[in-house]
Each structure stands twice: as structure tokens, then as C-alpha cells.
Amino acid sequence: MGRLSGKFALITGGTSGIGLETAQQFLAEGAEVAITGRSQDSLEAARRQLPREVLAIRNDASVATDQSELAAILSRKWARLDVLYANAADVTHQPMGQWTEAIVDRILATNLKGPLLLIQSLLPILSNPASIILCGSVSAHIGLPQSSVYAASKAGLLSLARTLSGEFIQRGIRVNGLSPGPTTTPALGKLGLAAEELRRLQDDIRNLVPIGRMGQPIELAKAAVFLASDESSYVVGTELLVDGGVGSL
């Protein structure tokens, strides 16, 4: 039997990078899996890459009504939800002088408000016990230039992991943060940088990491399996840093 056999798991932002790899690992460990993404094309592409059938649901984490609709869809498909991995994120980085109210609102809506409203909407079907994993970031712990709004949103999400753990503990719902360090994912390609600028950024990022390399999605996915499984039943309201030492050394 797999470590997640019999569990029903939702992964938001599950069409690429860490989310897609986590879906792979959850399936390999026996879970029934639902993934979300903003693009129907990316959802279909992800389904083709996965080894067996998943629920693929179009959802924009920044849209409040999408969160209640997602919960309604799951409640019709499944009798319960055992694992939520809130992984969808807006990773925009830019200098302080370039932020606009619209961009700030979009990042906070995607990275903080959306997960909060999704958890609220899912409460009726969350199991006892259940595991909620909130994708933080090592950026919440360091002063990385150009990450101000992104880092603040992730710091808020990690705070939510602690406060909701206190609120949900009697219901058997564990909430923990899983914070990646610099990781090789397609998200870097969404920053709008030219090829040479992107190469320099990647070099700069690697220089931040004490072990001298960027992380791989599977390293985060394996950590997510642990937090989703009963092996982590004594892990509550904390943060697991998978960051090559960036936030600690």
C-alpha cells in the first residue's frame, strides 16, 4: 500500500513545476488527486503527463468566487477531502518603484486571500484527520531585493498556517507550511526577462544557496508527501523549509 492510499487530495496550481510533480508523487503513493490551473490547455497537458486519471478543474486562485465553486465541484465528486496542498502562486518580482495597486492586489489575492477563502469553502468536506499544506517561500525569511510584495504574501500565508492550526486542532485538521527555496521550475520563465537576463538571475539565485545548486521539484514533492501522510501526524502549525539552507545558514 502507498503512503497516501485511500486519501483524496487537492493540489492547486498543479499543472507544472512543483504542483505537477507533487501530483505525480501523490498518485504514486495511492491518492485520488484533483489538480487546478488557470488554463484549460495546461490542465489537459498535465493530464496527459500523469500516469492515471485525475480531476482537472479550471480555477483562478485570485478570484474569490472560483474558490467556492471549486469546493462545490469537489463536494459533488468526492464524499470528503483528506489533503489540500495550496500551491498556486503569483511569483512576480520587481523593484519597489514599479509596483502598481493592480499588481499588488493580484499577488495578494492569489497568494493569500485565495487560499484563505478556499480553505473556508472546503471546511464542510475536510476530514478528521486532514492535512492542509500551504506553500510558503524562503523569501519570507530573507531580504531578497525585488521580492517585497511576493515575500509579504508568503509571510502572511505562513502565519495563516499557525493561526488556523490553533483554530482547527480540535477538528483534527493539521495546517503546515512547506517553503521552497530557489527551485528549477517554469515559473522563472514567467518573469518576462530576456534570455541573458534570465541566465544572470539564475546564477545570482544559485549563489544564494549554501549547497550550491537550485532545488528540483521532486524534492518539494517528496516533502509534500510526508506532510500529507499519516507519518506527519505529530507535525502541526509549523514550517518545513526545503531550501538548500538559504533560510538557515
Q: What are 180's strand-pairing partners?
A: 242
Q: Is the separation of the CB atoms in 208 and 182 below 8 Å?
A: yes
* Band of residue 192 on the pLDDT scale cut at 50, 70, 90: low
Q: Enumerate helices (H) and strands (E) in the chain, giving the number of each.
A: 8, 7
Fold of 8-242: Rossmann fold (3.40.50)
The span from the CA of 70 to the CA of 78, in Å, is: 12
What DSSP line would sit under 104-140, residue for residue?
A: HHHHHIIIIIHHHHHHHHHGGGEEEEEEEEEE--GGG
Q: Is the separation of the CB atoms in 236 and 176 below 8 Å?
A: yes
C-alpha cell at 247: 533560510
| CB-based burial, 60-75: b 16+ in 10 Å, e otherwise | bbbebebbeebbebbe
The span from the CA of 201 to the CA of 146, in Å, is: 12
Which are the catalytic amino acids?
Answer: 150
* Band of residue 8 on the pLDDT scale cut at 50, 70, 90: very high
CB under 8 Å to 184, separation ≥6 — which residues?
A: 214, 215, 216, 217
Q: Specify the pLDDT at position 89.
A: 97
C-alpha cell at 79: 464524499
Chain segment 9-59, per-residue pLDDT in tens: 999 999 999 999 999 999 999 999 999 999 999 999 999 999 999 999 999
Chain segment 81-98, per-residue pLDDT in tens: 999 999 999 999 899 999
The span from the CA of 87 to the CA of 96, in Å, is: 25
Q: Specify the pLDDT at position 86.
A: 98
